[in-house]
């Protein structure tokens, strides 16, 4: 499951550099669910070398569910949660299967 599974799509008409028009399909803006309502499974203390897919797998068994951790921590970039600047901070790991409303 992806964070965009239930996202609406739209089609835009754009003009390329050569002046030709074409249709581009894209996702509509996705608003993450309220982080306070996700339910906390665990709080993880970030250590050097942590990767969000491995943190997700450790607690939920799903390495592809890292985006749920991003949503629960109001992060757009997974590296913001486990990068060098994040070492020593706690991140929230939500219950698995908690999806956007």
DSSP 18: T
Neighbours of 76 (CB within 10 A): 8
- Residue 100 scores a pLDDT above 50: no
45 alpha carbon, distance to own chain's centre: 19
**Of 86, 57, 54, which is closest to residue 73 (Cα–Cα)?**
86
For 31-87, the pLDDT digits (tens) are 666 656 668 899 999 999 999 999 999 999 999 889 899 989 989 899 999 999 999
Residue 82: its H or E element: helix 79-82
Coil/strand/helix, residue 65: helix
pTM over 0.85: no
Q: Where are the domains of the chain?
A: 9-94
Cα angle 78-99-12, degrees, rounded to a multiple of 5: 75
């Amino acid at each position: 499951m992806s964070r965009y599974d239930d996202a609406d799509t739209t089609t835009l008409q754009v003009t390329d550099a050569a002046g030709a028009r074409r249709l581009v399909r894209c996702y509509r803006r996705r608003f993450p669910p309220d982080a306070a309502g996700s339910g906390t499974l665990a709080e993880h203390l970030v250590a050097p070398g942590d990767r969000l897919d491995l943190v997700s797998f450790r607690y939920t068994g799903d390495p592809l569910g890292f985006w749920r951790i991003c949503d629960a921590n109001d992060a757009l970039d997974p590296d913001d949660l486990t990068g060098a600047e994040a070492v020593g901070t706690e991140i929230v790991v939500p219950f698995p299967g908690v999806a956007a409303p």
